[in-house]
Structure 1
């Protein structure tokens, strides 16, 4: 009987390191006193150890004071690291410089306007994946869709992942053979075939899981979200930002180093921020940047001011988007007063590789107001706007957005003047909406200079496509003819009362003039 008791004690004691290892292997906390998860891990282990010891002797229950003290200490360290005690330090985690919109943001090349948002990229990727019957039964598409600049183009990249544990067992020897690249300009989708397959990923198990692989190599480093990127040669990498606590004990976490892992062979390299290769685009997490911008806007005059007087307190708007500038990816968001009215006092651009931050002070429409304005221009269609991206058109900040139907398909595009969101241009293609927007400016300029057309042309033909566009409250119609595909004709509603009723295949006779490559209709008759 005594031997059985002794054996039970030995087994119980041996279970202590086993349980500690299993918990660490599953949850992967950094062995770092600045890691909140590590403290929880220690407290759980102490509770288990004391529970085992209490089986042998009830007096050991008194040691439960240890995890209680640790928990109280953890809570205390969390409190003393809070913003109320370090408002200035939190406000200075990110430093904004004043920028010049005209100088910093070049006028957009309309052939380079990104029209594909994340949701559309996912749909395009899923459609492409569905075409690959040999892959779709074994792999899924990751929902990563990281936006990067690849060969001077904005794209979203995402790897394949194993379709469950059994599919991993059957394919782990070969690895993951592909990743997907979605061109954000033209929507082209490429399923990239790798010469050597991906052997380290988020869907891999055991030591080939990328989080576990990094934790085993860097047990003390704190990293959270790991991004999938590709270099200029198309080699897949995992980008793991390493965080350090910079305020108190658990506060002001910021990226100080980066670990790059070759997704094919698992080779890792740690870099200081300033030494990271330039092809890496996503070092800083967007949500953390937004948090730091809110601290910067809210805590400049202290914690109490941010709660009560709120003098000079600014906050980011609810959404954000990305811009590709000079081969880097920038986070864009508006800044508004804490009263959360429908206007911005300016906007910020943050380089997600360097955290260089610039603030552009200018009164502009809040993004959701611009979205509502664009939706209102096509309210009879019921389209919904994507969150806008900011473009420089004629040295003016201009919101560009896609308009989608209920199925999530892009049907039209909109340009909204950021400083006067009542000025909306709508079109079925990027060229259409840009023509409408630029045509508006040209028309204004012509009327001011009283320039009259000198040569008119006549043409008969059948309508191929026709779409209506609202410009400064006036309806214009854009259409093409069967015998003149290359030219897009523009007719103001005042040209003919028949315009709202014209449809494809109707035959028309028109008079028009050409100015600055625009074909303005002056007369129209329906035959």
Structure 2
């Protein structure tokens, strides 16, 4: 082949090569930053990965633009050119990469707990609390009766009832527990069903979010006047993580949580993560960015200034991690490994409890041996990180779950993770029991100190009443006055039934719709009760939606029968 007439290829100048190398590196860096979203922060491990990728991209580009393809250059000349190239361009980049690795390694070493045990121990301040004083008894109409799985099942099922949404959107299965207008609820955004649905609906945004009441088990889809433009289901610039990264390139964020304010406005709460020990150790929260899910407007607040309606700043995982440092390093690092004197750790799992319009995370505390007994438990405010330890030796959460499941083993119900309550002054595990479809069917209460003391009932109110009676029968507490009220009127209807060998009379008063159940064994006058009698009935406090309430005592025309008949005493008392 005749090469005559061909102009020799003109090699790029050195500045031109460098410019191309830098341009290629910038393109690779932009793609990596857009996809990986690393924080431009020396305390972020992702930042070192980002810089390392940039260095590799520059070296690879420089090898391509080195000009070693000239066929007229001899082999020895090529080798010489190669080493000169390494010296001139790659060597400085290589030295920078080595320094980067050294900084990361040194930063990791000086952040280890073995050198900074005291600093890790003091990440979390833990005060001792008095359970009966700090934890007030919660009304049964405010006790959450669902766990996360059950709540999300109900939320997903509610989406299926909306014909205009179900083909375009789906439930996100990423709910957050909050206090909303004084009630414990779980809120979750909806997502685009797929990429095509995103493309056709992105102009209007996500039109609704889902609220599941943790007490009544009602799920509602709340429609918005203007759709949410910023969420995790957005693939491009309006993806909430990408939106926050472009606004705050140097901040390290924990996973943003979806919340609504007291007016129902949707927000993303993005906790700002900092490292407080060495370069990479002592993870903590310094503040939070609140991003409006509709407009994308964001505001940063230091931790002391976060609005009170926000419920999720410190995650349960972070609080439990910090307590584990606090509990294991209480007497130094060596003791945490060898002697383990006074070493404590959190148990597996956690739950939430609403106190004073804040959400507290609950978890048990056990010894380092992780045996089947708890030493006590923690309650930590998820907005302020105020944490208290309550001494309450007793069963672990898993032991309590097993005790509750044993009461309904014939039904095959499974126990959810317990919620800690104050019932009659006693630390008590409250455990919803659900069937194979994740629907809650009954409730159990298990005494923390004596987990063989357990009651199961189909309603929260009934479970509470039975549990208080059992505490009194076992001598754990003094006889308590059960939550009750009084009904007076004329008997309009009487029905009877035999349950578990005991006769019960169901009495409806004139002008009312509910029936009062009266045990003949505890209320002998119920046997001679007639329609038209004027009566006074002491009964359980009204439970929302209940058509039958338990009656404790009955009075007919001044003659009374208390509910102590089962003790063998003569319960009839003359009227005062």
Q: Deviations over 1:436-457 (max 9, x none)?
A: 1123346578x999xxxxxxx9
Change (3 A) 1:39 1:181: same
Q: Deviations over 1:242-262 (max 9, x none)?
A: 111110001112111211011
Query: 73-82 vs 319-328, which deviates more?
Result: 73-82
- What is the match of residue 370 of structure 1? 400
Change (3 A) 1:324 1:382: same
Distance 1:403 1:293 in 2: 29
- What is the match of residue 501 of structure 1? none
Distance 2:329 2:473 in 1: 47
- What is the match of residue 300 of structure 2? 270
Residue 102 of structure 1: how far off its partner (Å): 1.1
Residue 417 of structure 1: how far off its partner (Å): 0.8
Equivalent in 23, 29, 42 of residue 32 of structure 2 = 23
Equivalent in 310, 324, 328 of residue 354 of structure 2 = 324
Matches within 5 A, 1:175-190: 175-190=205-220
Q: Is the 8 A contact 1:258 1:273 kept in 2?
A: yes
Q: Deviations over 1:263-321 (max 9, x none)?
A: 11111111111111100000001111110010010011111111111010000011110
Q: Is the 8 A contact 1:47 1:67 kept in 2?
A: no
- What is the match of residue 505 of structure 1? none
Distance 1:66 1:491 in 2: 88
Q: TM-score, normalised by structure 1?
A: 0.86
Change (3 A) 1:332 1:341: same
Change (3 A) 1:6 1:477: farther
- What is the match of residue 487 of structure 1? 516
Distance 2:179 2:277 in 1: 33
- What is the match of residue 122 of structure 2? 92
Equivalent in 541, 548, 552 of residue 518 of structure 1 = 552
Q: Is the 8 A contact 2:21 2:58 kept in 1?
A: no
Query: 58-67 vs 483-492, which deviates more?
Result: 483-492
Distance 1:130 1:247 in 2: 48
Distance 1:389 1:262 in 2: 32
Q: Is the 8 A contact 1:87 1:302 kept in 2?
A: yes
- What is the match of residue 399 of structure 1? 429
Structure of greater Rg: 2
Distance 2:503 2:287 in 1: 53
Residue 56 of structure 1: how far off its partner (Å): 3.6
Q: Is the 8 A contact 2:130 2:390 kept in 1?
A: yes
Q: Is the 8 A contact 1:478 1:488 kept in 2?
A: no
- Name stretches of at least 5 consecutive residues in structure 2 with no aligned partner: 1-6, 67-81, 480-490, 530-535, 540-550, 554-562, 567-576
Secondary structure of 1:412 counterpart: strand
Q: TM-score, normalised by structure 2?
A: 0.79
Q: Is the 8 A contact 1:415 1:425 kept in 2?
A: yes
Residue 19 of structure 1: how far off its partner (Å): 0.7
RMSD value, Cα: 3.0
Q: Is the 8 A contact 1:491 1:521 kept in 2?
A: no
- Name stretches of at least 5 consecutive residues in structure 1 with no aligned partner: 450-456, 469-475, 495-508
Distance 1:480 1:38 in 2: 73
Q: Is the 8 A contact 1:510 1:521 kept in 2?
A: no
- What is the match of residue 302 of structure 1? 332
Q: Is the 8 A contact 1:439 1:518 kept in 2?
A: no
Distance 2:35 2:503 in 1: 60
Distance 2:504 2:429 in 1: 25
Residue 67 of structure 1: how far off its partner (Å): 2.4
Secondary structure of 1:158 counterpart: strand
Q: Is the 8 A contact 2:392 2:427 kept in 1?
A: no
Matches within 5 A, 1:442-481: 461=495, 463=497
Q: Is the 8 A contact 1:463 1:482 kept in 2?
A: no
2:199 is the counterpart of 1:169: yes
Residue 224 of structure 1: how far off its partner (Å): 2.3
- What is the match of residue 338 of structure 1? 368
Q: What count of residue pairs does the alignment treat as equivalent?
A: 491
